[in-house]
Structures are given as C-alpha cells and as structure tokens.
Structure 1
Amino acid sequence: MRYELMYPADIRAAIDAHTPTVLALGVLEYHGEHLVTGVDTLVIVRALEILEKEVPMVILPPFYYGASSFAVEPPERKGSVHTGPQILYPFAQNLFDNLLRIGFRNIHVFVHHQSENFTAGMPTDLSFKLAARQATFSFLEKERGEGWWGNAASSEYYEQHNQGSDPFNWIRIHPFLSPEIQAEHPIDHAGKLETALMQSLCPEGADMQRFKTGTWYTESAPQATKEYGDKVKELILDHLRQTLGSHE
C-alpha cells in the first residue's frame, strides 16, 4: 500500500495489524555517465515494488535528498545533490515524530548509499538513526511521563529488549544489502554491482552505450550483466522478506 493513496480507514487497519511501514532512504548522486543520479534510492524503490505484491506493507514516499557529499565529483554539470546532516536530522526526527503519533510501531528504513560503512555509520544513516532514537525518547516521555523507564511498568524492559519487542524497535534502520550479501557481493559505486542491480531492477536507468572510461570507480561496470543483477536481487529480496517479517 502506498501511504499517499491510503484512506484513513486503511491507515487504521495497517496500524492495528502491525503492518511494516517502509521508507526508501537515498540520495541523488553522480554515478558515472552510464547510470542515472537516483541509483541509491531507485534500487530500493524497485525492490519494494516487487515485494509489496507478496508482503503486506505500507510504503512511504521515498526520500531522495540525503547526504550524497561531493566526494565522487563536484556537482556542477554532474547532478549530485547534497543535504547536510544539520538539515537531515531535524527533518527525520519530525518525520518519525509524526509516524509515531499516527500510531505506527513497525517502521523500517532501508539505506543503500555508503552502507558498506553501516556499522560505523555515515551522514545519511547516522542522521536518521539518531533521529529515530530521539523521536522514540521524546514520544515515550510525552506518553508515559518523565521517569517512565524507572517505574515498575518497565520492569521487563530488558526481557522485551532481548525479544525485540521494546520501544526502541519501533523504528529500525537497515542496510539494503545485508552484511552477508556484501561479503559475497561487495558494494561499489557505479561499478559491476550497482550497474547490474540497475540493469535488473531499473533497466531504464542504465545505458552502457553512454559509458565512458577514465574513472577508477566505474572500471568494472562493463562486467555487469542483468543475470548477475538478478542473482543479487533475489538475495536482497530474501533479506527484505526476513527483515520485514522479523518484528513481533
């Protein structure tokens, strides 16, 4: 279900059913001459479009305006759009504040951009991770009052935490490619992997006739095939199925 096309009754039904609410979080960034700028977001969007046919979920409008940085190329005539963490963090907290007030408690954000550093974090995912925690703390304090964690009603907090059912699992941020997938198929930037994923998930956004040599990060792109992209896509879809089905 697309959130923007849901009636209020649909929203209430999704809340009551604890339906996963999913956000594709990405950037607009230069990916060589052979790929479009929305790669990091589009691969998530297209995977969710496939998955929504079999897994009940609420799909929020994707967010394309993350922190791309200009580390790859300057933006002039190349297309990268960079939004700094000082802007991303308050936006994300406000978004999560709204989603919690509406009633969602099974929120998932998927990130592909720079997610090879997911454990340490990079500006986009760190902004949303911190915002998720702060929004949850703020919501709990407003709902339960100061001292909510220390009162008797929270005596089973650690047991709930171990079971994955505590409030800090209401909003979770995930890498689009799991660590296991990355170990077998390392992330690149506009190289073999990303080009193949686009050939599989968003073929209109990959055109090898436009490919140009001269950048080290795109050197492996000619090795990409749709068949390879299909293989990784299936691993990703399995990862998404497990992730969205794991919240009790």
Structure 2
Amino acid sequence: MSFHMEFGYPREAEIAKKEKWPILIPIGTMEYHSAHCPYGCDTLVTMGIAREIAKKIDAIVFPPVWYGVASYAVGGPEKNTIQVDCDTFEAYIYNILKSLFRSGFNRNIYLLITHQSEDYLPMTLACMKAAKKLTFEYLDETQGIGWWGNNANKDFYSNLSATENPWNWVRVIRCSAVAAGYPGDHAGIHECSSLEYLYPGSIKLDRLSETDDWFAESAKDTSVKWGEERITKIVDTIVGIIKE
C-alpha cells in the first residue's frame, strides 16, 4: 500500500525498496500567481498529482521541494516570488537523488513538475542534469570506468527493459506536457481548475477584479469538472509511463 515518506517507517521502506516501488517527488515553486491563486500553486498541483497516482499503484510519495527556479518572468521580488538560482537548485536536487541512490532507492524515481510547461526551461533542465550526472557517476562507481565500452556490455541495449534502462532510473515528468489536449498555463483556467479540483476552495475568483494580469483572464472560467478531467488524464498518462 502506498505511503508518504514523512509518515513512513523502516519496515515499509525496505519492502518498497526491495520491490522497486516508484518514488514520486513533487517539484515546485513559491511564485506569484496573481491575486486569486496561491503562491504554492505549482507545488500543490504536483503534490495532488502524486497523491492521485499513489491511489492507483503502490508508490512512495516523498515530501515536495517547495523552493525552485521560479524566475522573475511573471513578477519581481516585490510580488513575493522566491527565486532559487538554477545551479544552486541543480546541486540541491543532485544531493537529494544521491542520498536516495546511496540508500538503495536507485530505480523508478519520478520528479513531477508543472512549472513552466511551455518547453524544457531552467528548472526542468536542472532536474534533468542532476539526474543524468548522478546516473553516470553511479555507473562509473558500480561498474567501473569504461563500463559502456567494455566488451562484456556489447548487449547493453538489447537487454534493456524500461525500468532497467539507466537513463530511466530517474525521470523528469513535465506533467502539463504529457497529456495531449490538456495544456498548461499560469494562473489561468487550466491551472486554476486543476488546483480547485485537488484542493477545493483554494481559488479565490472574487479577487480577480483586484488585478489586470493578462495571464489570469481565463481563470474566470475555472471549472472543477475540467480540472478533474485534466488531472485524471495526466495521472493516467504518468501511471502508464511508470508501468512501461
């Protein structure tokens, strides 16, 4: 049965480790989301997605990373966004993952991101770089320098399964990009509908009049039904990726 690591115990952790349960780590930000949407939106949505995934399969939901590479693209420091430097963030994620690898949780790790869904932007890239850097270091340490070029590994690719493929040991999932037809936005209808579905009462539509933020205009059409449909599609898609 799935559990949250902060409420976990050694017995359950060792079972999960032995059976290679997926590890879900929500990655988020504390970022300005206009007048009607909370600062923790990005993190809260990924937490909700992780929670829903864990209802469908055995998984460990780890505590979220609240402070991320938010950037000041939406608003400056006066908007109360907390921005973490990309290189600093990468080092932090690297050390989290390294601790997991050292403990024996070195497969089936999923970093869930909803922030900046348009492309592979700094926070996503930082997570990806941290994961690949650690994977190569781990392979060098456990299989020796030159492991890939060793003739003993000539069947490396033909023997790979999705789970055993080292490039899949840590996967960075852009949640808003995995489900076709269910795009992301920033404090608009998609994000607000998702958050309101996951955390009823979290969106304050009566406060939209307090701002003229263009990116928030579509939030007036926030729909719990749409949020449920969108989150369900994202969750089902990620579960499918995990089961590959």
Question: Do structure 1's residue 222 and structure 2's residue 220 form an aligned pair?
Answer: yes
Say whether the 8 Å CA contact 1:36–1:205 is kept in structure 2.
yes
**Aligned pair in 2 of structure 1 residues 170, 179: CA closer, same or farther (>3 Å)?**
closer
Total equivalences in the alignment: 240
Say whether the 8 Å CA contact 2:24–2:59 is kept in structure 1.
yes
Q: Residue in 2 aligned with 1:156?
A: 155
Question: Do structure 1's residue 242 and structure 2's residue 240 form an aligned pair?
Answer: yes
After superposition, residues 1-248 of structure 1 pair within 5 angstroms as 1-76=3-78, 78-104=79-105, 105-117=107-119, 121-161=120-160, 163=162, 165-181=164-180, 184-212=181-209, 213-246=211-244
In the aligned structure 2, how far is the partner of 1:40 from the partner of 1:204?
A: 16
Gaps of 5+ in 2: none
Q: CA RMSD in A?
A: 1.6
Mean Cα deviation higher: 11-20 or 44-53? 44-53
Gaps of 5+ in 1: none
Say whether the 8 Å CA contact 1:178–1:239 is kept in structure 2.
no
In the aligned structure 2, how far is the partner of 1:244 from the partner of 1:192?
A: 28
Residue identity matched to 2:141: K
**Aligned pair in 2 of structure 1 residues 19, 179: CA closer, same or farther (>3 Å)?**
closer
Q: CA deviation at 1:161?
A: 4.8
Q: Deviations over 1:132-191 (max 9, x none)?
A: 01101111111122111122332222224575632221111111124443xx23321111
Say whether the 8 Å CA contact 1:157–1:166 is kept in structure 2.
no
Residue identity matched to 2:14: R
Say whether the 8 Å CA contact 2:162–2:168 is kept in structure 1.
no
Say whether the 8 Å CA contact 2:29–2:40 is kept in structure 1.
yes
Residue identity matched to 1:84: D
SS where residue 116 of structure 1 aligns?
coil
Say whether the 8 Å CA contact 2:163–2:169 is kept in structure 1.
no
**Aligned pair in 2 of structure 1 residues 49, 179: CA closer, same or farther (>3 Å)?**
closer
Say whether the 8 Å CA contact 2:21–2:108 is kept in structure 1.
yes
TM-score by length of structure 1 reads 0.91
Q: CA deviation at 1:115?
A: 2.0
- Identity in percent: 31
SS where residue 89 of structure 1 aligns?
helix
TM-score by length of structure 2 reads 0.92
In the aligned structure 1, how far is the partner of 2:148 from the partner of 2:38?
A: 47
Say whether the 8 Å CA contact 2:33–2:186 is kept in structure 1.
yes
Residue identity matched to 1:235: K
Mean Cα deviation higher: 184-193 or 156-165? 156-165
Q: CA deviation at 1:116?
A: 2.0
In the aligned structure 1, how far is the partner of 2:178 from the partner of 2:9?
A: 37
Q: CA deviation at 1:208?
A: 0.7
